[in-house]
Amino acid sequence: MVSQSYARLMTLEEFIIQGQNNFKGATGELSQLLRDIALAAKIISHEVNKAGITNILGLDGSTNVQGEMVKRLDLFSNEQMISALSRSGNVCLIVSEENDKPVRTKSSSGKYVVAMDPLDGSSNIDVNVSIGTIFSVFSRKSNIADEPDESDALQVGTDQIAAGFVLYGSSTTLVYTTGRGVSVFTLDPGLGEFFLSEPTVRMPVFGPTFSFNEGHIRSCSDAVKNYVSWCKNPDKVTGKPQQCRYIGSMVSDVYRTLLNGGIFMYPETDKLPDGKLRLLYECYPMAFIVEQAGGIAIDKNKRRIMEVPLSEIHQRSSVYMGSSRNVTKLMEFME
């Protein structure tokens, strides 16, 4: 009986309240922030799932600070996230991939700063391949009586108090951590409710999969070239080479790595010596999630992504993240 199965499932709301009750001194403001993000996720998911019908596909015609062509759905997602994050009054500043400068909300006394990629994987929108939203949450540094400023945004990965992503795929999945493990929720679009599908994700210590755009291989380091060749050699035990899986949306490639194990890489290249992915709102949040699930996330200098210093809000970083044994093996090639 379908209705019976719901009785056993925990809603996101119940999970948030439980987390808040277990956290001494919790004021409920972070809980409200997570609710607001979940609301935006439902609205964006609704739009993504009918994108082919309404005129939301295709290019908007503008380019963003990254010099990338902006898609209509990028802008729609950005607007929805900014408006949702402004509802509770708990967020004073928002950094978005789609905005050159940090966006001040109406509530200058808000306790939190949110950095986000409102729509990740934009190149996949028009071909109906999974896309997502990535977010990270920091406590503001400036005095609550002052106006928030860019210093509130220039924090380091280990300062994150929460991080997560939404994956708009065959189902809409919300994955987040507040530093006490990674939980996964799946949206029932009929009820408009997120239900807990995995309370604590543990990434396998090894996965026979590497995720990397081999189109860039010629301009990668020898370490990456030699590691990828090593992945293609038949394994001594199984006799099989590793498989390559690359979707081109970081949210999808990282989510698969989280559940099945393996490694996701976006290396530095000749054209992008610091890599393509943005440290603040792609690498930091994904590194927080990966580490909380038992994995490793490093950059080209073998530094923990969470500790790579941030000096500019749209700063890029090379990124290698995934199962501990996969990343440790890569590090041997980086010697």
**By the criterion CB under 6 A, which residues form the site for ligand AHG?**
68, 97, 117, 120-123, 213, 248-250, 266, 276
Which of left, alpha, beta for 138 (phi over 0: left; psi -120 to 50: alpha)?
beta
Out of 36, 117, 268, 291, the residue judged to bind Mn ion by CB under 5 A: 117
Out of 38, 110, 120, 125, the residue judged to bind Mn ion by CB under 5 A: 120
Query: 243: how many CB neighbours lie within 10 A of its CB?
Result: 13
Sheet with 112-120, strands from edge to edge, namely 103-104, 91-96, 112-120, 131-139, 162-168, 172-177, 182-188, 193-198
Classify residue 151 by its DSSP letter: G
Nearest approach in angstroms of CB 249 to ligand AHG is 5
Q: Which is nearer to Mn ion, 190 or 215 (CB)?
A: 215
Angle, alpha carbons 274-322-174 (nearest 5°): 100
Nearest approach in angstroms of CB 237 to ligand AHG is 30
Rounded to 10°, the helix 324-333/222-232 angle is: 130
C-alpha to C-alpha distance for 229 and 220, rounded to whole angstroms: 13
C-alpha to C-alpha distance for 259 and 262, rounded to whole angstroms: 9
Nearest approach in angstroms of CB 80 to ligand AHG is 15
Nearest approach in angstroms of CB 284 to ligand AHG is 14
Angle, alpha carbons 160-174-192 (nearest 5°): 135
Which string of b and e fits 175-204 if b means at least 16 CB within 10 Å? bbbbeeebbbbbbeeeeebbbbbeeebebb
From 109-117, 148-156, 228-236, 315-323, span contacting Mn ion (CB under 5 A): 109-117
Residue 155, contacted partner among Mn ion, ligand AHG, none, CB below 5-8 A by kind: none
Contact status: 291 vs Mn ion (CB under 5 A): no
Q: Which is nearer to ligand AHG, 35 or 245 (CB)?
A: 245
From 56-64, 113-121, 163-171, 254-262, span contacting Mn ion (CB under 5 A): 113-121
Residue 249, contacted partner among ligand AHG, Mn ion, none, CB below 5-8 A by kind: ligand AHG
Number of residues that bind Mn ion (CB under 5 A): 4
Nearest approach in angstroms of CB 97 to Mn ion is 5
Q: Which is nearer to ligand AHG, 105 or 124 (CB)?
A: 124
Nearest approach in angstroms of CB 216 to ligand AHG is 7
Nearest approach in angstroms of CB 281 to ligand AHG is 9
Residues facing residue 104 across a β-bridge: 93
Site residues (vs Mn ion, CB under 5 A): 97, 117, 119-120
